């Protein structure tokens, strides 16, 4: 890239929102777009959605029914992707 093109790209990127910047960079890298429902839910939130105990959610995580996501810089904290939870709910219907 020429210097002028780099400066133009920096100018445009600086004016994009963080979300739009992530989408643009994913498209340039050829990665699929992430769904908006990829936020991480806590165990209690997942248990409430299914109407089960926290122990049941822990068991589902150990059995691989739900994929546990370890939270960064935490020793024991984990969560579950909202998209995985929704997919399991749709599959249960």
Instruction: State the pLDDT confidence band at 45, using cuts at 50, 70 and 90.
Output: very high
Query: What's the CA gap between 46 and 40, in Å, rounded?
Result: 10
- Quick one: fold of 40-92? Multidrug-efflux Transporter Regulator; Chain: A; Domain 2 (1.10.1660)
Under 8 Å between Cβ of 80 and 67: yes
Instruction: State the pLDDT confidence band at 86, using cuts at 50, 70 and 90.
Output: confident
Q: What integer pLDDT is reported at residue 27 of this predicted model?
A: 78
Q: What integer pLDDT is reported at residue 92 of this predicted model?
A: 59
Which sign, positive or negative, has the C-alpha torsion 4, 10, 16, 21? positive
Query: What's the CA gap between 74 and 32, in Å, rounded?
Result: 28
pTM: 0.56
Mean pLDDT of 61-89: 86
Query: What's the CA gap between 5 and 2, in Å, rounded?
Result: 5
Which sign, positive or negative, has the C-alpha torsion 54, 56, 58, 60? negative
- 37 has pLDDT over 70: no
């Amino acid at each position: 890239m020429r210097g002028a093109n780099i400066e133009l790209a920096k100018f445009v990127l600086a004016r994009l929102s963080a979300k739009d910047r992530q989408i643009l960079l994913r498209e340039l890298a050829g990665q699929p777009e992430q769904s908006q429902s990829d936020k991480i839910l806590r165990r209690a939130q997942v248990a409430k959605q299914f109407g089960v105990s926290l122990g049941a959610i822990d068991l589902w995580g150990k059995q691989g029914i739900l994929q546990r996501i370890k939270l960064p810089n935490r020793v024991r904290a984990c969560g579950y992707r909202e998209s995985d939870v929704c997919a399991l709910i749709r599959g249960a219907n």
